[in-house]
Amino acid sequence: MVILLSVTLYSKDYSKQKEVKVFIEKMVKEHSFSRWKLNELFTNVTLQKRSLGIYNPKYREKSKVVKGLTKISHKHGSWTRYEKNLFTEKKIDLGVNFIYKHKNIFKKVYEKYGVPPEYVAAIIGVESRYGIKRGDYPIFDVLTTLAFEKNRRSSYFKDELENFLILTKKNNFNPLNIKGSYAGAIGLGQFMPSSYKHYAVDYDGDGQRSMQQVSDAIAGIANYLEKNGWEKWEPVAERVSFKGERYEGKKTGFQYKYPQSELKGLKTIYKWSYKQPVYLLKLDRYRFDELWFGAKNFYVITRYNHSVYYAMAVHLLAQKLKRGYKKKYAKVLR
Cβ 204 vs Cβ 195: under 8 Å: no
Between the alpha carbon of residue 19 and those of residues 16, 42, 68, 86, the distances in Å are: 9, 12, 49, 42
Of the residues 127, 162, 226, 238, which is catalytic?
127
Between the alpha carbon of residue 7 and those of residues 192, 233, 235, 259, 310, the distances in Å are: 22, 46, 43, 49, 27
The alpha-carbon radius of gyration of the chain (Å, integer) is 22
Strand-pair category, 267-268 with 289-294: unpaired
Query: Under 8 Å CB-to-CB from 226, ≥6 apart: which residues?
Result: 113, 114, 115
Residue 216, phi then psi, degrees to nearest 5: -65, -40
Within 13 Å of residue 326, how many CA atoms lie on the same side as its CB?
10
CA distance 302 to 180: 22
Active site residue 19: no
Cβ 93 vs Cβ 324: under 8 Å: yes
What residue ranges in 49-89 does DSSP mark as E strands? Answer: 60-62
- Which amino acid makes up residue 84? K
Instruction: Give the alpha-carbon dihedral of 65, 69, 71, 72, to 10 degrees.
Output: -110
Catalytic residues: 127
